[in-house]
Structure 1
Amino acid sequence: MSQHYTEISIDSRGVANLILNRPEVHNAFDDQMIAELIRVLDQLAADDKVKVLTLSARGKNFSAGADLNWMRSMAQKNYQQNLDDANELAALMHKLDKFPKPTIALVQGAAFGGAVGLVACCDMALAEQGASFCLSEVKIGLIPAVISPYVMRALGERQCRRYFLTAERFSADSALTMGLLHQVVAAGELASQAESLIASLLQNSPAAVSAAKALLHNIYNRKISNNVIAHTTQAIAEIRVSAEGQEGLTAFLEKRKPAWLAD
């Protein structure tokens, strides 16, 4: 399937590849691209064939963040128009963060501004050795507001206190140390290295993987209270009596492959 600013393909395994495709402007995003990404994520989330989603980009850079012409147009608009626009970007980040299947970001070149938010919203993130990151908003009088909950969750408040305020560029190795990335790979090896993650994900119960992701969202950063404990006990009871839970346990006891791995 081809869109205006993105490309989508779904292979026979159920791996969906979502590719940012504005290399002529370093995959910078504007209101049209944001709207397109929201539509695509909704479409893929509703597709039962999709088991894994990768997010990558054409060209030299993953994404330069916000498109300059778009930012120029927003400067001419009033508060309500800017609020509506920000809500669209917030919807994109939320949909990517809560996407019901595992997500993997594959980063080359520069990932600036809002692009750091896209990376932080993915479950897993790999980058080439030469990749660089920057929360550059304050350089032009803005702040990384909409992406801040996701970036702060990944980097931690202490690192954000530095990089939100200085707008320094940081390397892939620094991003790995700080928790934004899971792996740094040699140039040209993003796709091949992602395959090992994809292979691991596809061995697992699709329903359990989605439930595990939902569990993470529900319990992260919450005090261990009676409500949290009740949620976890209900979650395991529900998955145990589910179709895939029953199949997985039975297959394990019978020492055979579960149905989701059947040829």
Structure 2
Amino acid sequence: MTYQTLQLEIAHGAATVTLNRPDVRNAFNETVIAELNNVFLELGQDEQVRAIVLAANGPAFCAGADLNWMKKMANYTPEQNLEDAQQLAEMLYQIYSCAKPVIAKVQGDCYAGGMGLVAACDIAVTVDSANFCLSEVKLGLIPATISPYVIKAMGPNAARRYFITAERFSAQEAHRIGFVHESVPAENLDQTVAQIVNAIVNNGPNAVIAAKWLVEDVTGAEIEEDLLTYTAECIADIRSSPEGKEGVASFLEKRKPNWLLHLN
């Protein structure tokens, strides 16, 4: 499929989705939102894809909303504003709920809605020179649609501060508060992301998906009988699955598991 605002590359079990509007700092509009929604829907269903990298071209990762799009929204009716916001919310959820692990590769500044894109990913790596900002209140707005993902990523205390101050903060601070997993020099970004992707694609694909959702299901749950039963059922089910049996057998027989045979 041809995209107006994105580039897509698939190789060796990994897909790279690249925001490709460097002239506007990869700001998003309705076309970007629709294309991101579609590409993550398709990649989530592609059995050849084991991991997805969300990257960007140019000096900035994403500056948030496109100015021309914002000008158009200024004349929207309340109903049109709601429909527009729902499309953004659905796109973010498509990334968050994708059946494949998603790694954000942040090569430059990331503002406003761009932080929602990063937070919706499973893993985030940034260059140490990037700046971050939740700038919405500067415009009399709030980071509403991105808030579930940003708060989950950085925690409520940090989110409260940066939501209400709109302060710009560094990659080091983003790493300290847990918004990103790693902050690395620019020359190490490609290698760091490649190592993470390589680790994922070498693992059992069904186990990776199950492990992703295990975190979601167990986080915040009370440790009591229902949770103990649920986790026991999870491991029992995957042990008896074809992939689980193959994984154990390949380990005992000191050979590669069959899910590594068809990566191209």
Per the alignment, residue 172 of structure 2 pairs with 173
Paired with 1:243 and 1:48, the residues of 2 have a C-alpha distance of: 16
| Runs of 4+ residues deviating >4 angstroms | none
Q: Deviations over 1:177-206 (max 9, x none)?
A: 000111111124321221111121122111
Paired with 1:145 and 1:232, the residues of 2 have a C-alpha distance of: 33
Paired with 1:117 and 1:253, the residues of 2 have a C-alpha distance of: 43
Paired with 2:173 and 2:199, the residues of 1 have a C-alpha distance of: 26
Per the alignment, residue 197 of structure 2 pairs with 198
Give the partner amino acid of 1:3: Y
Give the partner amino acid of 2:16: N
Give the partner amino acid of 1:23: P
Paired with 1:22 and 1:230, the residues of 2 have a C-alpha distance of: 48
Q: Secondary structure at the match of 1:49?
A: coil
Per the alignment, residue 41 of structure 2 pairs with 42
Q: Secondary structure at the match of 2:91?
A: helix
Paired with 1:109 and 1:251, the residues of 2 have a C-alpha distance of: 42
Identity in percent: 46
RMSD: 1.3
Shift of 1:77: 0.9
Q: Secondary structure at the match of 1:146?
A: coil
Paired with 2:75 and 2:223, the residues of 1 have a C-alpha distance of: 47
Instruction: List runs of 5+ in structure 2 lacking aligned partners.
Output: none
Shift of 1:102: 1.2
Per the alignment, residue 131 of structure 2 pairs with 132
Shift of 1:169: 0.5
Q: Deviations over 1:120-158 (max 9, x none)?
A: 111111111110100000000000001111101111111
- TM-score when normalising by structure 2: 0.95
- TM-score when normalising by structure 1: 0.96
**Contact 2:172/2:183 (<8 A) preserved:** yes
Determine if the alignment matches structure 1 residue 118 to structure 2 residue 117.
yes
**Contact 2:14/2:201 (<8 A) preserved:** no
Q: Residues 103-114 of structure 1: matches in 2 within 5 Å?
A: 103-114=102-113
Shift of 1:32: 1.3
Q: Which moved more, 1:74-83 or 1:44-53?
A: 74-83
Per the alignment, residue 141 of structure 1 pairs with 140
Instruction: List runs of 5+ in structure 1 lacking aligned partners.
Output: none
